[in-house]
Amino acid sequence: MSGIWTKIDGKWRAASSRDFEREKELHDLVEENIGMLPLAGSPRLFVLGREVQLGSGYADLLAVEASGRPVIAEVKLARSSEAKRAIVAQVISYAAFLQGFDVESLAKGPLSKSLSDREQDSILGMVMTQDQEDEIDSDTFETSLQEYLTNGMFRLVLIMDDSSEELERVIAYLDSVTKQSLTIDLITFRIYYVNGTEVAMPQRISPDLSLTSDSVSGLSTKRASKARKSDGPDAFIASFSDIEGEIREVFNQLVDWAIEIEKIQGVNLYTATGVNKSRFTLLPRLATENAGLITIWNDNKKPYISFWRGVFERRAPNSIEAVEKAAGLKIGHGNVVNEISSALLDALKSAYLEATKS
């Protein structure tokens, strides 16, 4: 029996679980915590739109990987065998509709509302506002995205509260015969009670086939390259070791602040080297969702901070006003501040304290 087991009075017992009362509950859980999805290859997803019209239906979630591969996700409760079959038909119909689109038509058509809501005029621009680790290669992203669209090469993600042998057999079959075009992930979610707290447990059910990588599909593996991430600030410190003067002092101030933030329970500190190896990021991440309120940058020897409004709204909404006042600007999705003051760093520390208590 799978699930979560807890030790009570010296004996291991299965934790009790509950059903999702409404499909919207599961839908909201996934939308707000897309990083929870245990996908094959563990790619980071960048959200392009929610409830995106693709043909006669609306895809629950349209996203893209750093490589440019589009991701279509559909959420459904498994109330009946009919519902389980319907989710397969839905997501494949969305993929069929999306194949052959050019990037500009996708932006002006299905994604026009999402772009307008984010005050962006291109898909690349919207993705860059979510890129905390400098994973996106801005020189090749749109070309790669176009190749995936032209060839109908997508990742399809089916998210349910329960599965069945029949559904798993269908997914395994489709995954094996379409391995050069599609990667199909079947994810189930259960909610468990542990010591009075609800715990969400996502599980990837479909087979993790290594043959679904870009090297098999024929697309350049260069476009699938990821930012290299390491624990702690050492790699970031090394990236500005040859800098002196006032700029060096700013870098030192930012690193000292980040090391202090890492001492807060629930915060982890990483360094990421960008795909172009000329930009380095220091990432104070909230452990519960593997995302940060800010990213600290060394962009070709220039220090600055970028803000991630979505994380602020979820985890530190009461700190937004103070941070905006100290920064002298409105917190957005990836916008930056170059003037680093002690008041700003103090406000950001308070925001991380709020975020770890929420």
| Residue 48 · residue 123 · CB < 8 Å | yes
User: What letter does residue 327 receive in the DSSP assignment?
Assistant: H
Distance CA 138, CA 145 (A): 11
Per residue in 129-148, pLDDT tens? Answer: 888 888 898 889 999 999 99
- What pLDDT was estimated at residue 217? 46
Arithmetic mean of pLDDT over the chain = 89
- What pLDDT was estimated at residue 9? 86
What distances in angstroms separate CA 209 from CA 10, 73, 176, 180, 213, one per listed residue? 39, 19, 8, 11, 8
59-67 average pLDDT score: 95
Residue 124 confidence class, pLDDT cut points 50, 70, 90: very high
| Residue 284 · residue 292 · CB < 8 Å | yes
Distance CA 280, CA 354 (A): 27
- What pLDDT was estimated at residue 213? 44
Per residue in 184-228, pLDDT tens? Answer: 999 999 999 888 888 899 999 865 554 344 444 455 444 445 567
Q: Is 308 helix (H, G, I), strand (E, B) or coil?
A: strand
Per residue in 242-282, pLDDT tens? Answer: 999 999 999 999 999 999 999 999 999 999 988 767 789 99
User: Full-prediction pTM beyond 0.85?
Assistant: no
Per residue in 5-39, pLDDT tens? Answer: 888 888 898 888 888 989 899 998 998 888 889 99
Closest by CA to 99, choosing from 145, 141, 45, is: 145
- What pLDDT was estimated at residue 197? 86
Per residue in 147-181, pLDDT tens? Answer: 999 999 999 999 999 888 888 888 888 888 887 78
* The residue to which tokens 């909201």 are assigned: 28
Per residue in 233-243, pLDDT tens? Answer: 999 999 999 99
User: What letter does residue 291 receive in the DSSP assignment?
Assistant: B
Between 210 and 61, name the one with better pLDDT: 61
| Cα angle 281-286-288, degrees, rounded to a multiple of 5 | 135
- What pLDDT was estimated at residue 214? 46
